[in-house]
Amino acid sequence: MPLNHYITLGRSGLRVSPYCLGTMTFGEDFGWGASPEASFAMLDEYRSRGGNFVDTANIYTAGHSEQIVGDYIKQRALRRDELVLSTKFYCNLFPGDPNGGGAGRKALIQQCEASLQRLQSDYIDIYWLHNWDRNAPVEETLRGLDDLVTAGKIRYVGFSDIPAWKTAQAQTIAAFRGWAPIIALQLEYSLLERTSEGELFPLAQEMGMGIMPWSPLKSGFLSGKFRRDDGGNVDTRRSGLVGVPSPADYAVIETVSEIASALNVSPAAVALTWVRSQPGISATLIGARRLDQLKTNLDSLEVTLSAEQLARLSEVSKPTLNFPADNNATLAPMLAFSGMTVDGKTIPAFTPHSS
């Protein structure tokens, strides 16, 4: 699948590349990112392959990431409309100011204006609520976002890292009020983090939201640089933030590496291919600190996994889900349709244990 085989994001008319270029690494302000020059090179590579979707956030390198993206658009003299540019709000860049972050009307409008200045753009394509503000009424947030859509400052609304029940409430209110809907969810998802399958995946599919996984390589754990026998002692400037794999993680990591060796591709390519093969996935967020890492990730679009390989990866990484997700997926169908085939799926027979 080439990068320019575009996908419609959620229940919207927005077409995006299957891989979205995440820019959390743009800027060296936090001690481990990419320089502006290296960031420009990654943007050039992504665009040269047909990519059109770039994602950032106000908190990424304290605003420098947004500034780098804005500088790139200006210095490369790009037609702004050819890019789908998204950023996020919620995080506070002004310590001591209770309205410097969060999702109240005052906060979200000032954050939007500040992001537009750094991005050097008149509008943002997707404006993501980065986290749940428990102290702001969701109606206030949704109305503020709808006003920004009406004003032409944002085009679409997205949610990131919000509980499923809160997202469902918000989408229902938006539909009832005729406000701009939530078209997509950003959530952590990888072979080492699959618990969102319990509530968030069914929610997104039921309510017309695209799913955009972030950290599909689990902070590099699935990139191939971690091996059980070296104790996870990998030289990385981000180790203080992300830690190292747990003993249980290595069963998944080793399976990924075995399949990668059989296919003569990188472990990262296998992990990314599994993610984008899952039902409900729209665009997957990929990020890199170096150009060679980005090229490797983009190359994974040419990788295909067999049904057996996909099943093997799914089995070794099978998550334990919160109640009632597992019960609803396994026991409940048997109680209702024991042994029957419904909608093309055969339900196992329910056989009560004898007393």
Residue bearing tokens 């990866």:
313
The encoded tokens of residue 113 equal: 């204006």
Q: Which residues contact 19 (CB under 8 A, 6 or more apart)?
A: 3, 51, 53, 276, 283, 284, 285, 286, 297, 298, 301
Beta bridge partners of 127: 87, 157
Q: Is 60 a catalytic residue?
A: yes
Enumerate the H helices of 243-340 as residue ranges: 249-263, 267-276, 291-299, 307-316, 325-329, 331-337
CA distance to 55, 80, 116, 185, 241, per residue, from 122 (Å):
16, 9, 6, 24, 34
What CA–CA distances, in Å, run from 86 to 47, 196, 241, 271, 303? Answer: 16, 22, 25, 25, 27
Contact 65, 57 (CB under 8 A): yes
Phi, psi of 347 (to 5 degrees): -90, 130
How far apart CA 228 and CA 249 sit, in angstroms, is 9
Q: By three-state DSSP, how is residue 327 classified? A: helix
Element (H, E) at 211: strand 210-214
Cα 121 to the center of its chain, rounded Å: 23
Residue 156 per-residue DSSP state: E
Q: Give me the catalytic one of 6, 19, 46, 60.
A: 60
Nearest-5° Cα angle at 330, 326 to 333: 130
Which sequence positions are flagged as catalytic? 60
